[in-house]
Chain A
């Protein structure tokens, strides 16, 4: 019987297989950041162990870093200590680090791909659940806990329990104005936050094949929000074109050998998935969340659902709690929800294509009065590219704030946070209670919806802007 893409990559990394034990898998790339690594390095030190493969390990600073005044000392002493701890650990153990201020610094899941380190058929891990992002290249990539970070540092391997495979086939074509973010939010709403549990998801079908690498990363990034172990997309010419010429992409004869191998990384025609889901791309529309988990979403044209409409008691209860926390009432049209903050950035939507699409909507328009809009590039490289294209000017002229690279408002670990009761439209990945700051309320959206929302002051798509006057010549 044929094998799926995930099974092929898994099989190629088995160091040891024994009956009744988890497979021991080799890890090709280990990404580190300041939050989930200090206790792991400490464990190594206590056991007198070294980092086995410093040449397969790289670190950056992202979660704690401020996005303003980065040349000044970090104000929060606890954040500063955590960053300093990473610097000391990397120096002591010989790990390559891109600290705040470095040209390669940025959100760890933006940095790996742009350096060309994330490659098809590799195993990629990081102490961060959004490591699933790297699956966009046909890598088997998953988030791990700190004990596993220590394990990989010490052994470059991980014992891993077997997984099940799920195919999510997206047929047809995404309508104009519908993006990868809308697609993944719709998928999570369909299968639920536990729907992918135990599975490695392979996204496939014509609508997936048409997506750019940036869009594929957005999809795979949020696989974890469906509870999946990982998300993957088979590598193709789009993948190869993205990689060729990048710093760490193979060169010369190695490139040819790599491409030859990468072309074998496709699910065999006779392979069988443990579960299959079909989505009709043409049926999709801009999608936003109304609740406090990423599965609580609906098309922008819909209204806040009535908890009473849920048959399942636990879902009904979750919806009631969510509406209470979010300050929403059943039946309220989603388009009438006003926001005070708009955030464009994160490992989900902080890449150059995301900034371009937000800029294309903001060009010649203004952010609504009373709305604060933060644009946070995913990495310094993305920032430089955006500046070279003049996007920063578009944002600042529209009244948005152009910030330094980092995780920023995706999570409440740095100065960029919502105040209690504030409401955001955010291109990030989690709308959990307090995720963007204590008492903050989050609506997950695409960069396009974020930009249109910033202009109108309420949840909106670019199509809603047709009646907003734009200056001549734009």
Chain B
């Protein structure tokens, strides 16, 4: 995973609540067997509308998504995270993310930042008024900064460390091999097995 320390870029305001992962990437895109090439599927249905915010030329090349509450609800598809990253987003800001989406994003180095709705509103107003305004998402200082706005955010220390270092979860867990073996040795015999080995 690519490390995330700090990122500065232009931002897109997405004024919708409850943006589910079916909207982020529709199911027919999920037939692919790779992690790339999802950028054209991102918000596919809405992008058919020329008035949709991502289609406006002034937001082309933006890398921070400032979304409404309850972003990423529904299906567990990690493709939603890949689609946002493939399109070019480095960070998503919302007042509330669905759990699975949040977990998926942090495992892929897409920083999901939780800020109070009032701060999200201010950021949206700022980038609506000035699409060229830059937003900085600073994981080192756990702070989002933009003109006239400076907001601290929370992220648990372990998740932050993994992101800052770009660490691969599986390698970290494999260091715990002795604990896993010890646990396995004590599992009751009545636990289900799918095959005899």
Seen from chain A, the residues whose Cβ lies within 8 Å of a Cβ on chain B are 15-16, 20-22, 24, 26, 28-29, 35-36, 38-39, 42, 47, 49, 54-58, 63-64, 76, 78-79, 81-82, 85, 96, 116-119, 122, 127-129, 131, 143-148, 150-151, 154-157, 159, 161, 193-194, 197-198, 224-225, 227, 229, 248-250, 254-255, 257-258, 261, 293, 314-315, 317-318, 321, 411-413, 430, 432-435, 438
Measured between beta carbons, the chain A residues less than 8 angstroms from B74 are: 129, 224-225, 430, 432
Which interface residue of A22, A49, A155, A315 has the most chain B CB atoms within 10 A?
A155
CA distance A122 to B194 in the complex (A): 14
Which of B4-12, B20-28, B84-92, B135-143 is the interface stretch? B20-28
Q: Tell whether, in the assembled complex, residue A119 and residue B192 are in contact, meaning their CB atoms are under 8 Å apart.
A: yes
Let me know if B170 and A257 touch, CB within 8 A.
Answer: no
Within the complex, which residue of B16, B96, B158 is in contact with A321, where a contact is CB–CB below 8 Å? B16
**CA–CA, A81 and B184, complex, Å:** 36
Can you sample 29 A-B contacts with CB below 8 Å? Answer: A24-B179, A35-B77, A49-B170, A81-B31, A85-B33, A128-B75, A128-B76, A129-B75, A129-B76, A144-B100, A145-B107, A146-B78, A147-B108, A148-B107, A155-B170, A257-B189, A261-B190, A314-B117, A315-B17, A317-B15, A317-B16, A411-B27, A412-B26, A413-B31, A432-B22, A432-B23, A434-B26, A435-B22, A435-B27
Q: A22 CA to B172 CA in the complex, in Å?
A: 12
**CA A440 to CA B79, docked complex, whole Å:** 22
Do A15 and B176 have beta carbons less than 8 Å apart? yes
Task: Give the distance to chain B from A57, nearest Cβ to Cβ, in Å.
Answer: 6
**Among the listed A55, A118, A261, A434, which residue makes an inter-chain contact with B195, where contact means beta carbons less than 8 Å apart?**
A55
Query: 1/0 per residue B157-195: CB within 8 Å of A?
Result: 111000000000110111010011001100111111111
Checking A21, A36, A248 against B192 with a beta-carbon cut-off of 8 angstroms, the contacting residue is A248
Interface-side segment among B49-57, B65-73, B126-134, B144-152? B65-73
* Least Cβ–Cβ distance between A87 and chain B, in angstroms: 12
> Of A56, A64, A412, which one neighbours B193 at CB under 8 angstroms?
A56
Asked whether A193 lies within 8 Å of B103 as measured between CB atoms, the reply is: no
**Interface code B25-58, partner A: CB below 8 Å = 1, 0 otherwise?**
0111011111100000000010000000000000
| Interface status of B118 (Cβ within 8 A of chain A) | no
Q: Once the chains bind, are B104 and A56 in contact (CB under 8 Å)? A: no
Q: For B76, give its contact among A36, A150, A432 (CB under 8 Å).
A: A36
Which residue from B20, B78, B170, B195 sits with its C-beta under 8 Å from A36? B78
Write the residues of chain B forming the contact surface with A, with a CB cutoff of 8 angstroms. 15-18, 20, 22-23, 26-28, 30-35, 45, 68-70, 73-79, 81, 96, 98-100, 103-104, 107-108, 117, 156-159, 169-170, 172-174, 176, 179-180, 183-184, 187-197
10 further A-B contacts with Cβ under 8 Å, apart from A56-B192, A151-B170, are A36-B78, A55-B195, A117-B194, A122-B192, A129-B76, A131-B76, A155-B174, A161-B156, A224-B74, A255-B190
Q: Is the CB of A194 within 8 A of B73?
A: yes
- Taking CB atoms, residues of chain B closer than 8 Å to A433 are 22-23, 45
User: Which chain B residues border A118 with CB–CB below 8 Å?
Assistant: 192
Please judge, given known A-B contacts A15-B179, A412-B28, whether A318 and B174 are in contact too, CB under 8 Å.
no
Partner of A147, one of B18, B98, B99, B169: B169
